[in-house]
Structure 1
Amino acid sequence: MKLKPKITIADHFWGIEDPRIDRTKRHNLIDIMTIAVCAVICGADGWKVLELSGCIVTIDAIGCQKEIVKLITQQNADYVIALKKNQDNLYDEVEKLFSSGIATGFEGIAHSTYKTEETGHGRHEIRNYVMLMEPRLNPDSVWSKFNSVGMVESVRSLNGETTVETHYFISSLESNAKQFGNSIRSHWGIENSLHWILDVALKEDDCRIRKDNAPQNFAILKHIAVNLLGQEKRVKRGIKNKQFLAGLDNNYLARVLALA
């Protein structure tokens, strides 16, 4: 079987004429284009640097890695990250902690609670949020600024049927269930709206790039990014989560670029 020849980004853009005049050329065009492609793959929707300071970063279980958590806190941001059952023993420990707490009414455990109730389109949903301050789950400080764990119990009634789902999270937030709940609801609202990759995940409709040929150029960059991210099959997540991972992990970014 004949191997597919390796093609670099420079090969892809070979032959593109540089429209700039010589005195304005501070950087090579191919360097600019390479940086632009990498930036859009990593989630950029403009030419400003992503600033996380003061933000609360919410990520699905793909983000539940010590390195990613460290990178978030290094930028003076907080995190709320979902747990899944394959996350070593952490999921089981958190689940047991909440089960024990519920059985005793959380006696002797610092905690906070919050509740929301929504009705619409024939659906009635109650969400109970609980946060616990539990440093015993991180005795050796292997997770950066791991201050609390959270639980969301969602009770949904639709067409006469009731379902109950429970999700667990780790967080750098102090025990503030309302803040925790609002962060989770915002995250789920975004995830539920990801119907069209270019329109929503890559913010095509909200793009503020309007000058000269910039809209067409940036649209091309977005198509390149979504094609490469779509070809990357090892990470079983949506485009938005892949972008975030590429922005935090240079090895993953290199893997995506290698698919060109």
Structure 2
Amino acid sequence: MSKDVRVTLEDVITHFEDLEDPRSSINQRHPLVSVVVIAVMGVLAGASGPTGIAEWARMKKDLLLGTLELPNGIPAKDVFRRVLAALRPDAFQSCFVSWLESLRQAACEEGAVSQPVFAVDGKTNRRSHDRKRGLGALHAVSLWASELGLSLGQVASEEKTNEITAIPELLRLVDLQGAIITIDAMGTQKAIAKQIVEGGADYVLAVKGNQESLETAIADTFLAETEDDFASGKVRKHETTETAHGRTTTRTYYQMPAPRSLVDSAAWAGLRTIGMVIAVCLRDGKETVEIRRYISSLGMGVQRFARAVRGHWGVENSCHWILDVVYREDDSRIRDQRARENFAWLDRFTLSLLKQHPSKDSIAMKRRSCGWSNDFLMEVLTGTAT
């Protein structure tokens, strides 16, 4: 991270100073800012709930008393539970906006990424339901920048089917200017495409059964081009082959200008191109073929189209898999509606911080190192690693 965007611990504290304290002033023994900063540090170090945060804080008493305002000592687990259950998730998340923006700028500069890919995708915390209270499992829709290793925003909904209403709210939380937004078929909606374009970004939207006429039209358009072996010269092609985990996958990306005759083409804001990806996977002598189709506001440039598609698929490995395996998010039994959403955000934000640290160690090892070493923890928290 370049020096001009680094933060100190004092800067970290500043992010939370305007956060409204939801607690009663009676018997308020611990400053809200200190409680929240300890929660961030505890999750970085491997804690997965109020009890874990409190136990970690107790073991790191000397560090915390020397760096934070704690006039009455280390808070107990009930303090963390009450605070994270009382804080409004939108207000809590808004405290991280400027912090994330500095991380985003630094990551773009270091990776020389001029047009980052932001993948909008949902994930369900499977054990966070409470049948007795009629509370369904938490389904969080988040915006993940795969190339930058950053989670830039999150909106919760109780069911996957509610993503259509959650996505516009999520997009309003993030500065989209100059990015490529990728969304699965459920989010392929005309209003969402318009919102993305008006936000100064481009989109690559998957098309499936929910847009059946459009999907058929795209399929027929590419089929007509293949029948004369792309003689029109409109189609661009890019092919990649990867071998990993016992399988070989060849992906062929096709892109061409969106024809004016395409179904409802005028209704899709900024529509310029259509795309198709054919993935052929060979494993144990068996071959499977998957075809996906897309609409996009991107101009022609098949490798850029391919990067956007691959960036979206990358969210599963670079974010969701880590949240499940390293953070064990699926095992979380936090049932309070606000607390579970706030913890889901802490998981994503701390994962972003860990990914910014230049160490080549795995995320699991970085989390352990945060628990073992005060110096390493402060490097991750403040972005001061060299």
Same fold flag (TM > 0.5): yes
Match of 1:195 among 321, 338, 348: 321
Match of 2:251 among 115, 120, 127: 127
Unaligned ranges ≥5, structure 1: 1-12, 21-30, 204-219, 228-238, 240-260
Check if 1:223 corresponds to 2:350. no
* C-alpha deviation, 1:85, in angstroms: 2.0
**CA–CA distance in 2 between the matches of 1:178 and 1:140?**
23
Unaligned ranges ≥5, structure 2: 1-21, 33-85, 97-139, 144-150, 154-172, 330-336, 349-386
Pairwise CA RMSD: 3.9
Q: Secondary structure at the match of 1:182?
A: helix
Counterpart of 2:341 in structure 1: which amino acid?
I
Q: Secondary structure at the match of 2:313?
A: helix
Deviations 1:218-241 (A, max 9, x none): xx96723578xxxxxxxxxxx9xx
Check if 1:71 corresponds to 2:195. yes
8 Å Cα contact 2:254-2:275 kept in structure 1: yes
Check if 1:166 corresponds to 2:291. yes
Check if 1:118 corresponds to 2:265. no
* Counterparts in 2 of 1:162 and 1:46: CA distance versus 1, 3 Å: closer
Counterpart of 2:321 in structure 1: which amino acid?
H
* Counterparts in 2 of 1:101 and 1:140: CA distance versus 1, 3 Å: closer
8 Å Cα contact 1:134-1:148 kept in structure 2: yes
* C-alpha deviation, 1:114, in angstroms: 0.6
State the number of aligned residues.
193
8 Å Cα contact 1:109-1:133 kept in structure 2: no
Deviations 1:63-88 (A, max 9, x none): 10001111111111011110102314
**CA–CA distance in 2 between the matches of 1:222 and 1:89?**
42
Counterpart of 2:242 in structure 1: which amino acid?
E
Deviations 1:232-258 (A, max 9, x none): xxxxxxx9xxxxxxxxxxxxxxxxxxx
Q: Could you say which residue in structure 1 is the equivalent of 2:365?
A: none
Match of 2:88 among 21, 33, 36: 33
Q: Could you say which residue in structure 2 is the equivalent of 1:181?
A: 306
Q: Could you say which residue in structure 2 is the equivalent of 1:107?
A: 231
* Counterparts in 2 of 1:139 and 1:46: CA distance versus 1, 3 Å: closer
The TM-score with structure 2 as length reference comes to 0.43
Q: Could you say which residue in structure 2 is the equivalent of 1:90?
A: 214
**CA–CA distance in 2 between the matches of 1:198 and 1:122?**
22
* C-alpha deviation, 1:198, in angstroms: 7.2
Q: Could you say which residue in structure 1 is the equivalent of 2:174?
A: 50
Moved more, 182-191 or 137-146: 137-146
8 Å Cα contact 1:109-1:132 kept in structure 2: no
Counterpart of 2:290 in structure 1: which amino acid?
E
8 Å Cα contact 1:54-1:77 kept in structure 2: yes
**CA–CA distance in 2 between the matches of 1:183 and 1:133?**
17
* Counterparts in 2 of 1:144 and 1:225: CA distance versus 1, 3 Å: farther
8 Å Cα contact 1:37-1:224 kept in structure 2: no
Q: Could you say which residue in structure 1 is the equivalent of 2:356?
A: none
8 Å Cα contact 1:135-1:146 kept in structure 2: no
* Counterparts in 2 of 1:93 and 1:109: CA distance versus 1, 3 Å: farther
8 Å Cα contact 1:111-1:175 kept in structure 2: no
Instruction: Describe how 1:4-23 pairs up with structure 2 within 5 A.
Output: 15=24, 19=31
**CA–CA distance in 2 between the matches of 1:165 and 1:141?**
29
Give the helix-richer structure, 1 or 2.
2
Counterpart of 2:202 in structure 1: which amino acid?
D
Q: Secondary structure at the match of 1:72?
A: helix
**CA–CA distance in 2 between the matches of 1:110 and 1:149?**
11
Check if 1:147 corresponds to 2:272. yes
8 Å Cα contact 2:214-2:263 kept in structure 1: no
**CA–CA distance in 2 between the matches of 1:200 and 1:170?**
35
Match of 1:156 among 281, 285, 289: 281
Counterpart of 1:106 in structure 2: which amino acid?
F
Q: Could you say which residue in structure 1 is the equivalent of 2:57?
A: none
The TM-score with structure 1 as length reference comes to 0.62
**Percent identity, aligned pairs only?**
31
